[in-house]
Amino acid sequence: MRQAFDIAVIGGGIAGASVASELASSGNHVVLLEMESQPGYHTTGRSAAVFAPSYGPAPIRALTRASEAFFQTPPDRFADHPLVTPRGALMIARDDQSESLENLVREVSDTLPVSVLDEAQLLEINPLLRRGYATAAMLDNSARDIDVNALHQGFLRRFKAEGGSIAVDAEVLALSHGSSGWHLDTRAGEFSAEIIVNAAGAWADQVGQMAGAERIGLVPKRRTIATIEAPGQIEFDHMPATIDVDEDFYLKPDAGKLLISPADETPSEPCDAQPEEIDIAICVDRIEKSFDLSVRRIENKWAGLRSFVSDKCPVAGYSQVAEGVYWLAGQGGYGIQSAPALARLAAAQILDKPVPQNIIDEGLDVADLAPGRFAADANQST
């Protein structure tokens, strides 16, 4: 028997869970379809996210700033402990990266109280840095660690409390559109909905093709993360996340260990991503060259897929060619920190309501997220 809903959200990661929560709270009959046995198995469940308003392209930074109030004061009973804790972010630069650092400071200093540090100052903040490696840095004290699981589960609880339905093991096999809306054939049965929200993460372009939507050029990219033992002679719990200004690596304290990454972005087919030994080796090499550390053992390692379009900004908006299909994809590595605001923006557009003013006030132009921007690029190239 086909189950009928107003809106079907495809994908139970942070994008799907957050927008489904917003849509259900507006009184809509919503189903969340997750292909795995549990929501958030892929990218969301493998994210080591930081709330960093200085991180990402301008539209992401605007959405992140607009999400700050939610992280600081979530709705009642959303989570039983804080969603964010103080961390800070230290963007470090070698001599040959001075232009990158100057550009970053210029881009963010109007909206964030950042500080520019010399080598002596940054070594005081992070004594693990190898002397002579980095000569300057930008410190963003507004950056915080995010409890990704608490955020994701909070959205799912809120969704269910508002009457939303979750179907797991519900990979979408076929989509068809008729006079009564969309018919979704899944491994968990058949569903119908007037509107489809494509929040399928790395699989979003595949879902879009099933629906006859335009291609957005989505490219899933593998990101590798590992944990190593922290040196016992240094107090590092409150040390900021230390990130190469060109994003070639990062290091961050995490639950008594050091979390490290080569910040790789290796194109991949949508899959259950696993770490490659070459990426772990590259990570160790970059970390040992940058920090006064000798990595003797990798304690844990994993990988996830972060999906990007050409301009690295999210795609949020109705398809121009497939009726009733709303794109919510391409969040890349910024989907956790921008989720609260992006979900409210998406829900407003889906329901044909004004975009919340606090998002507009942060300087976001919604045209920068629209799927139609790729068609404009194609026309200009011809």
Q: Which residues of 155-194 are buried (b: 16+ CB within 10 A; e: fewer)?
A: bbebbeebebbbbbebbbeebeeeeebbebebebeebbbb
| Ranges assigned E (strand) in the chain | 3-10, 30-33, 50-51, 84-86, 89-93, 115-118, 136-140, 144-146, 165-167, 172-178, 181-186, 189-198, 219-229, 241-244, 250-254, 257-261, 266-267, 300-308, 315-318, 325-329
What's the N-to-C CA distance of the chain in angstroms? 48
Residue pair 216/315 in contact by the 8 Å Cβ criterion = yes
Q: What strands, in cross-sheet order, belong to the sheet with 144-146? A: 50-51, 144-146, 84-86
Q: What six digits make up the tokens of 298?
A: 């990798």
Amino acid 379: pLDDT:
38
* Cα separation, 59 vs 171, whole angstroms: 31
Nearest CA to 7 out of 181, 245, 189 is that of 181
**φ/ψ bin of 240: left (φ > 0), alpha (ψ from -120 to 50), beta (otherwise):** beta
Degrees, nearest 5: CA angle 370-375-376: 85
Encoded amino acid at 4, one letter? A
Q: What six digits make up the tokens of 177?
A: 């559109």
Amino acid 1: pLDDT:
75
* Cα separation, 381 vs 367, whole angstroms: 19
> With 90 as the cut, is the pLDDT of residue 19 above it?
yes
Is residue 73 classed as helix, strand or coil in its secondary structure?
coil
Q: Give one DSSP letter per residue of 80-138, joined into a string.
A: SS-SEEE--EEEEE-GGGHHHHHHHHHHHTTTS--EEEEHHHHHHH-TTBPTTT--EEE
Q: Express each pLDDT in 255-276 by its tens digit.
A: 889 999 999 999 999 999 999 9
* Cα separation, 14 vs 165, whole angstroms: 16
Residue pair 108/58 in contact by the 8 Å Cβ criterion = no
Q: How confident is the model at residue 55 (pLDDT cuts 50, 70, 90)?
A: confident
Q: In a 10 Å sphere around its CB, with 0-12 CB exposed, 13-18 middle and 19+ buried, how is residue 43 labelled?
A: buried
Residue pair 262/286 in contact by the 8 Å Cβ criterion = yes
Q: In the predicted model, what is the mean pLDDT of the chain?
A: 94
Q: Express each pLDDT in 207-261 by its tens digit.
A: 999 999 999 999 999 999 999 999 876 777 789 999 999 999 999 999 889 999 9
Nearest CA to 136 out of 50, 228, 245 is that of 245
Nearest CA to 291 out of 340, 336, 324, 243 is that of 243
Q: How confident is the model at residue 27 (pLDDT cuts 50, 70, 90)?
A: very high
Answer with the residue of higher pLDDT: 249 or 111. 249
Q: How confident is the model at residue 114 (pLDDT cuts 50, 70, 90)?
A: very high
Query: In DSSP terms, which residues pair with 166 in a beta bridge?
Result: 32
Residue pair 121/174 in contact by the 8 Å Cβ criterion = no
CA distances 139 to 55, 108, 300, Å, are: 12, 11, 28
Encoded amino acid at 294, one letter? S
Is residue 258 classed as helix, strand or coil in its secondary structure?
strand
Amino acid 382: pLDDT:
33
> With 60 as the cut, is the pLDDT of residue 192 above it?
yes
Encoded amino acid at 267, one letter? P
